[in-house]
Amino acid sequence: MEKITKNAFISALENHKSAFICNAHALPDDILEGRLFDLEIPAGGGAIRKRTATARATFILFSDGSRLGFDQKGKYEFMRLVGKFGAEYVMLKHTSILCDGEPWTKWTIYVVE
């Protein structure tokens, strides 16, 4: 898994069709990387519904009406991974602090063509 810039993350979603894979919570980086690396996505995406995206000031708007926001408090990191079967993933890692002072990490993961 490689770190990328926010601009590279947005560009990957704007310039390629993508599909939302999942949100993962409190999963260590190496475990997530291993699971995605071995995930087999059929050539052409199979039954995965792909969509386009347009960047706005504080969010990305997808062609199906869903949004990915960047306006919550916390630290944002952006990652890219090419899996064993050639699928390319871009991920947003958002780390915030819970009311008890503990960190909470949420991954938002997309596959791009």
CATH of the domain at 103: 2.30.29
Give the range of the structural domain holding residue 97, as residue numbers without chain letter: 2-112
Question: Which tokens belong to 51?
Answer: 């969509």
pLDDT attached to residue 69: 93
* Overall average pLDDT of the 46-72 stretch: 89
Domains of the chain: total: 1
pLDDT attached to residue 33: 94
The DSSP bridge partners found for residue 105 are 95
What's the predicted TM-score (pTM) here? 0.89
Residue 45: pLDDT over 60: no
Q: Per residue in 68-110, pLDDT tens?
A: 999 889 999 999 999 988 889 999 999 999 989 999 999 999 9
- Give 43's pLDDT tier (boundaries 50, 70, 90): low
